[in-house]
Amino acid sequence: MSVLVIAEHDNASIKGATLNTVTAAVACGGDVHVLVAGHNAGAAAAAAAQIAGVAKVIHADATGLAHGLAENVAAQVLALQGNAASNYSHILFPATAGGKNVAPRVAAKLDVAQISDITKVVAADTFERPIYAGNAIATVQSADSVKVITVRATGFDAAAATGGGAAVETAAATADAGKSSYVGSEIAKNDRPELTAAKIIVSGGRALGSKEKFDEVMTPLADKLGAAIGASRAAVDAGYAPNDLQVGQTGKIVAPQLYVAAGISGAIQHLAGMKDSKVIVAINKDPEAPIFSVADYGLEADLFTAVPELVKAL
Amino acid sequence: MKVLVPVKRVVDYNVKVRVKSDNTGVDIANVKMSMNPFDEIAVEEAVRLKEKGLVTEVIAVSCGVTQCQETLRTAMAIGADRAILVETPADLDLQPLAVAKLLKALVDKEQPGLVILGKQAIDDDANQVGQMLAALADLPQATNASKVDLAADKVSVTREIDGGLETLALSLPAVITTDLRLNEPRYVTLPNIMKAKKKQLDIVKPEDLGVDVAPRLKTLKVAEPAKRGAGIKVADVAALVEKLKNEAKVI
């Protein structure tokens, strides 16, 4: 029995969520194989081979796989699954934008249910996953022959990125489906730690009032703590911060050591994205704000004075 | 070109759900239900495409219990032309794969140029149906759309991805799922609610479509998430820093 992990990568390196997915794969049992499907992604495949716990890396290289188009990546996974020599019992994707895009496509083609965003492997066929914005945890059992799963990175520790010594095997790439094509992308410039992997996150909400104030108040605090910056949906919708910084049910799910929420009321949808943080600090001038119900340390104060004071005190 | 818009009736997003004491599910009896927020965005986008003259007919579809008719009436009040309910028994656990198969059967029948769905439903948080439908119908997909540019034979979609935005071009027919920032759904007006009551709403059964809707995943238990320990309020910034350094030891 073996388990296939679909690596998230940018052709040059492996993205962090892949490491957490490998840990979940090990928990499912059996040999762990990692698929690196991309274009000129030899470096990413070599990096995948170093991950502890990985038995084999399968590298598929083609121009059609360059940008992770769902149609082509799904076809590649199905080609591997169709190969009698492998026949995986579990196919795992990280629950990132990329993984969520492809996994259901694979599951539907295999005519199996997909299990989204698992936070725990109870048994090889039984998993825990949050539903209703994290307000309930469902334990689900799959009777399907192949389990197609997306893995919530914050639910599992990261596998060590070094220490492994898996062989890299080249697989024949499938043909481009030709129904979709990549036009371009706009990646936000960011020198900070990646939001989903950061140890500390400082997050701002609607109370910041403007993009200028958001940057002026939150940036020094993030710099001081070496933290990633996050935002509530209200702050993103108002244009104070870019979309990809949104923390919540519909944005990123994070679980850092320290989460500082400044000027965030704490709507259900925001809490869904951060309530598994180890320590939560809330700075809000409204004593009734729901964020105080999940905060370990609450400071009832105007953030425009409290945050600069905090920067100074650190 | 026709557009098919699947919509789901879910617990209203403002409701804080409670887990049943016997751990069999969440208590949704007597709870306010609404259209899934992402589906409202999908209906709005379809109606806007029609208003631009790019689309001739918008068909709303829902799969589930009889009360889903209310959700379909809402879709028609926003501007959908007609609706189809695939009615399933109240005790059935209708899962994404089954819904995708029902929608595939309707796609075969209606032959839409575009299917626009929400990216995920806020109850099961699965984020699967659009992708599964695209796979079953062998159509290209663009998930998490924040911008849609429709032309005669293709559609250009800007998607929200981790780290930024990405633009794809898809041949038609295609499947698109909506992200929050695609548009701001309009409020339905009273005259439109009245007009929606007169629009056509067909009811079919899964058997009519030849689809087996039996659940594939068995829910063994639904539990409350682990509770966080009670927090404290600190008096000032100095006290906060002291706590973080010495008590929580996180900085």
Asked whether the predicted pLDDT for residue A149 surpasses 90, the reply is yes
Q: What is the pLDDT of residue A85?
A: 61
In the numeric block, the tokens 């598994």 are attached to: A276
Backbone φ, ψ for residue B206 (5° rounding): -55, -35
Tell me the shortest Cα–Cα distance from B72 to chain A, in angstroms: 22
A115 to B146: CB separation less than 8 angstroms, yes or no:
no
pLDDT tens digits along A283-309? 999 999 999 999 999 999 999 999 999
Q: What is the pLDDT of residue A188?
A: 79
Instruction: Kindly indicate the confidence band of residue A84, based on its pLDDT and cuts at 50, 70 and 90.
Output: low
Instruction: Kindly indicate the confidence band of residue A87, based on its pLDDT and cuts at 50, 70 and 90.
Output: confident
B231 to A297: CB separation less than 8 angstroms, yes or no:
yes
Q: Which of A146, A250, A274, A293 to probe the B interface (max B CBs under 10 A)? A: A250
Average pLDDT over residues A20-24: 97
B146 touches chain A (CB under 8 A): yes
B180 touches chain A (CB under 8 A): yes
Q: Where are the strands (E) in chain A, listed by range?
A: 2-6, 31-38, 56-61, 90-94, 114-118, 120-123, 126-131, 136-142, 147-151, 167-171, 180-187, 200-204, 228-231, 258-262, 279-284, 297-300
A133 to B236: CB separation less than 8 angstroms, yes or no:
no
| Nearest-angstrom CA–CA distance, B245 and B88 | 56
Average pLDDT over residues A188-208: 92
Q: Select the residue of A104, A249, A250 nearest B132 (Cβ to Cβ).
A: A104
Asked whether the predicted pLDDT for residue A189 surpasses 90, the reply is no
Q: What is the pLDDT of residue A86?
A: 64
pLDDT tens digits, chain B, 251 residues: what are they? Answer: 999 999 999 999 999 999 999 999 999 999 999 999 999 999 999 999 999 999 999 999 999 999 999 999 999 999 999 999 999 999 999 999 999 999 999 999 999 999 999 999 999 999 999 999 999 999 999 999 999 999 989 999 999 999 899 999 999 999 999 999 999 999 999 999 999 999 999 999 999 999 999 999 999 999 999 988 889 999 999 999 999 999 988 88
Mean pLDDT of all residues belonging to chain A: 95
Task: Spell out which residues of chain A touch residue B100, defining contact as CB-CB under 8 Å.
Answer: 108
ipTM: 0.95
A136 to B135: CB separation less than 8 angstroms, yes or no:
no
**Residue with the larger pLDDT of the pair A85 and B164:** B164
Q: Which residue blocks in B172-222 are alpha helix, DSSP H?
A: 190-198, 206-209
Asked whether the predicted pLDDT for residue A135 surpasses 90, the reply is yes
B194 touches chain A (CB under 8 A): no
Average pLDDT over residues A122-151: 97
